[in-house]
Amino acid sequence: MKPEQEARQRIDELLKAAGWHVQDLKDLNLGDTLGVAVREYPLRSGPTDYLLFVDRNAIGVVEAKPVGTTLSGVAEQTFAYLSSIPDNVPHYQLPLPFAYETTGIETYFRDLRDPGSRSRRVFAFHKPETIQEWLSQKETLRARLQRKMPPLIEEHLRSCQIDAVKNLEISLSENRPRALIQMATGSGKTYAAVTTCYRLIKFAGAKRILFLVDRSNLGRQTLKEFQQYLTPDDGRKFTELYNVQNMTSNALDPVSKVCITTIQRLYSMLKGESEFDEELEERSLFDMSPSQVMKSKEVDYNATIPIETFDFIITDECHCSIYHLWRQVLEYFDAFIIGLTATPSKQTLGFFNNNLVMELSLPFNKNFDFLPHMLQQQHHDYHQLKLMLRLVHFYYTLRRLNPPMMRLDPWVTRPSNSLTSFPILSSCIVIIIAVISCA
């Protein structure tokens, strides 16, 4: 079989998996189903590999190429097809809004309705129902993000949280697919993330947000953050306005706006498993040995969890292995990815394209905004405060030098069989701070 034929065969399978009915021109029946992909459809500029129809109207094309083709150079050819639809073919608009270039292994997608539209890599094709929903909206998600968001209500936010939210929104408005926020432990990363979730849902029309945590007990803590969050403009709690699901099963709540889970459970769901052992979520990725994080986890397309399920993915304090061991799980979704961390590694920075929108690595500030909550409550005797700051600085220095060796959550080392987890050192720090606070 020729490379072109092999590519077409894989593309047919991908289209069918996403809910498209693939037809030859001689068997054309646009009323057969909602989404129809017609092979070798004749256009003014020549036959396109696939012409896509939704609800009997042409909406886009698929340009098929053999494996090994550099797809970034195919966009001009695809655009020519989008602009050459015959007058007798019913269509949504001209040029057609959606363009795919694919080898069956690698796929790029472009929505011409986006401001400054450009192709982005996707795992598979979007479902016809999703395309229909997008066409019913006045603006695309990226257009809504580029439009100036309402001013941030800064009441109850620390200065570092204000900067994080504002800088992230600037990054999203520039259509940068990944962004990393570095904030010290105790500085309120999760609260800032909840604020961002609220604004993305209310003002940008986000369909659903995935919130990934390192282990299940952090998921429960994150759920409490959402439950306790008072919306600054409405006054009601977040969970009174939007459904938040902390996943304890492999069933995704279709009405949830925020889904909280671990990457382990998400992988299980994409693999099509109906159940997942909750005990496997209790173990932190930080406790995994290097040999356990070398081989990446691979996934296949799952029609029950299509690539457009989430608009945004937030990864909170996840081990750097999430960006290589679990990389394909993250990249499965056609979503913006936002990372939260106190100690980013070079690999983490690389995954986020070095787009560090907020950097706060040391707990210093004239108002002591960045200190953990327990330290903010102490009196400000000069010598005691100076000692506290030195201790905190020492702790963060250790975490920066070797994050897996020093994980306090906060100030308490998780149980570990490793002799390098510094249980004595962390206990000493807690004892010293306790003595100071009682002085």
SS (H, E, C) the chain: CCHHHHHHHHHHHHHHHCCCEEECHHHCCCCCCCEEEEEEEEECCEEEEEEEEECCEEEEEEEECCCCCCHHHCHHHHHHHHCCCCCCCCECCCCCCEEEEECCCCEEEEECCCCCCCCEEECCCCCHHHHHHHHCCCCCHHHHHHCCCCCCCCCCCCHHHHHHHHHHHHHHHCCCCEEEEEECCCCCHHHHHHHHHHHHHHHCCCCCEEEEECCHHHHHHHHHHHHHCECCCCCCEHHHHCCEEECCCCCCCCCCCEEEEEHHHHHHHHCCCCCCCHHHHCCCHHHCCHHHHCCCCCCCCCCCCCCCCCCEEEEECCCHHHHCCCHHHHHCCCCEEEEEECCCCHHHHHHCCCCEEEEECCCCCCCCCCCCHHHHCCCCCHHHHHHHHHHHHHHHHHHHHCHHHCCECCCCECCCCCCCCCHHHHHHHHHHHHHHHHC
Domain region containing 381: 373-438
Pair (64, 146) in one structural domain: no
Count the Cβ atoms, other than its own, within 10 Å of residue 426: 19
Residues 6+ apart with CB under 8 A from 85: 43, 44, 58, 91, 94, 95, 96
Based on the structure, what is the number of domains in the chain?
Answer: 3
- Give the pLDDT confidence score for residue 376 in this predicted structure: 40
Asked if residue 351 has pLDDT above 60, the reply is: yes
Candidate from 65-79, 249-263, 292-306, 339-353 with smallest mean pLDDT: 292-306
pLDDT tier, 86 (very low <50, low <70, confident <90, very high otherwise)? very high
Give the mean pLDDT of 138-144: 96
- Give the pLDDT confidence score for residue 343 in this predicted structure: 85
CATH number of the CATH domain containing 321 = 3.40.50.300
Pair (186, 223) in one structural domain: yes
**196: in domain:** yes
Pair (155, 9) in one structural domain: no
Residues 6+ apart with CB under 8 A from 392: 363, 371, 372, 375
**162: in domain:** yes
Q: Tell me how far apart the alpha carbons of residues 202 and 46 are, in angstroms, rounded to a whole number.
A: 44
Asked if residue 53 has pLDDT above 90, the reply is: yes
- Give the pLDDT confidence score for residue 419 in this predicted structure: 36
- Give the pLDDT confidence score for residue 321 in this predicted structure: 64
Pair (288, 414) in one structural domain: no
- Please identify, among 91, 111, 135, the residue that sits at the C-terminal boundary of a domain: 135
Pair (354, 388) in one structural domain: no
Pair (211, 254) in one structural domain: yes
Asked if residue 208 has pLDDT above 80, the reply is: yes
- Please identify, among 327, 360, 393, the residue that sits at the C-terminal boundary of a domain: 360
Tens digit of each residue's pLDDT (9 = 90 or more) over 176-192: 999 999 998 888 999 99
**11: in domain:** yes
Asked if residue 146 has pLDDT above 90, the reply is: yes
**116: in domain:** yes
Tens digit of each residue's pLDDT (9 = 90 or more) over 235-261: 999 999 999 999 999 999 999 999 999
**379: in domain:** yes
pTM of the prediction? 0.82
Give the mean pLDDT of 312-318: 88
Instruction: Compute the radius of gyration of the chain from its Cα atoms.
Output: 25
Pair (77, 57) in one structural domain: yes
Give the mean pLDDT of 151-158: 94
Asked if residue 375 has pLDDT above 50, the reply is: no
Pair (154, 296) in one structural domain: yes
Q: Tell me how far apart the alpha carbons of residues 34 and 57 are, in angstroms, rounded to a whole number.
A: 10
Asked if residue 361 has pLDDT above 70, the reply is: no
- Give the pLDDT confidence score for residue 220 in this predicted structure: 95
**367: in domain:** no
- Give the pLDDT confidence score for residue 172 in this predicted structure: 97
Candidate from 56-65, 86-95, 152-161, 413-422 with smallest mean pLDDT: 413-422
Using CA atoms, how far residue 266 sits from 36, 249, 343, 358, in Å, is 30, 10, 24, 27
Give the mean pLDDT of 59-74: 92
**368: in domain:** no
Give the mean pLDDT of 369-385: 44
Tens digit of each residue's pLDDT (9 = 90 or more) over 396-409: 555 544 444 444 44
Give the mean pLDDT of 313-331: 82
Asked if residue 327 has pLDDT above 70, the reply is: yes
More confident residue, 426 or 31: 31
CATH number of the CATH domain containing 11 = 3.90.1570.30
Average pLDDT, the chain: 84
- Give the pLDDT confidence score for residue 296 in this predicted structure: 72
Give the mean pLDDT of 198-206: 97
- Please identify, among 92, 112, 135, the residue that sits at the C-terminal boundary of a domain: 135
pLDDT tier, 277 (very low <50, low <70, confident <90, very high otherwise)? confident
Cα distance from N-terminal residue to C-terminal residue, the chain: 80
Give the mean pLDDT of 203-230: 95
pLDDT tier, 381 (very low <50, low <70, confident <90, very high otherwise)? very low
- Give the pLDDT confidence score for residue 420 in this predicted structure: 39
Tens digit of each residue's pLDDT (9 = 90 or more) over 88-126: 999 999 999 999 999 999 999 999 999 999 999 999 999
**366: in domain:** no
Pair (249, 287) in one structural domain: yes
Pair (129, 198) in one structural domain: no
Asked if residue 364 has pLDDT above 60, the reply is: no
Pair (158, 106) in one structural domain: no
Asked if residue 205 has pLDDT above 90, the reply is: yes
**Are β-strands 107-111 and 98-102 bridged in parallel, bridged antiparallel, or unpaired?**
antiparallel
Pair (187, 327) in one structural domain: yes
Q: Tell me how far apart the alpha carbons of residues 19 and 207 are, in angstroms, rounded to a whole number.
A: 20
